[in-house]
A = this chain, B = another copy of it.
Amino acid sequence: MPASPRHPPPIRSTADFARYVGLARTTVSRVLNRHPGVKRKTVERVQRALEETGFTPNAFAVHLRGKGSAQVGICMENLFTPPMVLKLAALQKRLRQQGLTCFIEVHAPGEIRRVVQHFLAMQAGAVVFIGQFDPTELAARISELRLRGVAHLVIDQSAVPEANTVTLDRVGAMREVVDHLFALGHCTFGLLGMSSSLQSILDRRQGIVAALTAHRLDPDRCLQCLDHLEARANDFSFGRAIARAFASRPDRPTAFLAVNDATAIGAMVGFQEAGLCVPADLSIVGFNNQEICLMSNPTMSSVDQQIDATIDAAAEMILGQIGKPVAESVVRTIPSQFVERGSTGRAPRH
C-alpha cells in the first residue's frame, strides 16, 4: 500500500478544496454559504472535508465578490479612561450580536485621518468615534464620510457640526449636581481639573453656570479654579495637590466639583491631610461613578455615565444609518444619574 504523504498538499483556496472533496467550486461555495438546494449527502461530504482540512475561505476574496457582511470601524484615541473602554467593549458586543464585524483602531491624536482612510479602504459601512477628538479634524472626517455615503456616529463629543451624535447630557448632569449642592446650602464652588477646552468639559462648565444663574448666583464670584498651579494630569496626585492649595485659602469654597473620580478622591485626601473634614467642612463630587468611589473614606458622590443606555442608543443609530444615507444629522442626549454618597453634605455654618 502507498505510504501516506508526510505533507498532504496544502489547501489554500476553494479550488484546492473542491479538488480535495471531488466537487466543483460552485457546489462547495453553496455549502459554505448555506444555500438551499444541495443534496444532503453532498453537504455532509463537504462538511466532513471542512473538518478534516480546517479550510477557511479567504475573507478578502469573499468580500470582493459577494458583498460581505457590513463592517463598522471604531476610532479611539484614549484607552486610559475606564468608562470609554467600557463603552468600546459594550458597543462591539452589541454590534456583533447584530451580525456586524467591528474594526477597532486605538490611535494617537492626529492619526484620525489615516485611520478613517483605512476603514474606508476596508469598505466599512459605518465609522464610530468614541471620545474627545480635535473638533476641526473630526468635522472634516465626517463630511468626508458623508460624501461617500458611509454612516458615522460620534459618541461622547457634543457640538460637532453636522455630526450624528450620542452623548451624555453633561450640561444637565452638572446642573443637577449644582442644584443639589445649592439645596444643601453651598454657594461657592471649587473646580478641580475643569479648565480644559475639551467639549465635554465646556458642556459641564456650561451646566454649572446655568444652574448658578438660575439660583441668582454670579458665576464670576462663586466659582474658583486653581488648576493653573499644577501641571495638569487630572489624576489622584493632581487632585491632592490642588486641594492643598485650596486648603490654606481664607475664601475657600465649600463645595468642589472634580473632572473625574480619581481627581475627586485625590482632593479629598489632600483636604483631609490639611486637617479638614469631608463632608463637614466641605463637599466633593466626582464624575464617572467608577468603582473607586466606594474605596474612599467617606465614599465619593459622583455622576454615572449610563453606559448601557448610551450604547443602546448608539447601536440603534448605527444600525439605522448603515447603508442608508441620511441627510439630516441626528443627535441624541442620554440623561445622566447623580449618585449621592458620603462626600457631600450640608454646607458648614460661617
Contacts and interface: CB of A to CB of B under 8 A. Distances in A.
A60 B272 CA distance: 59
Q: How often does this chain occur in the complex, in copies?
A: 2
* Interface residue tally on A, bucketed by range: 35 or more
A275 to B, nearest CB: 14
A103 B59 CA distance: 13
A334 interface: no
A29 interface: no
Given A294-B236, A295-B292, A60 B64 contact: yes
A297 interface: yes
Contacts of A62: 121
Contacts of A96: 107
A120 interface: yes
Contact of A123 (B59, B80, B102): B59
A265 B92 contact: no
A8 B280 CA distance: 68
A263 to B, nearest CB: 11
A235 interface: yes
A85 B93 CA distance: 17
Contacts of A79: 85-86, 88-89
Given A291-B236, A295-B292, A121 B269 contact: no
A122 interface: yes
Interface string A262-287: 10011001001000000000000000
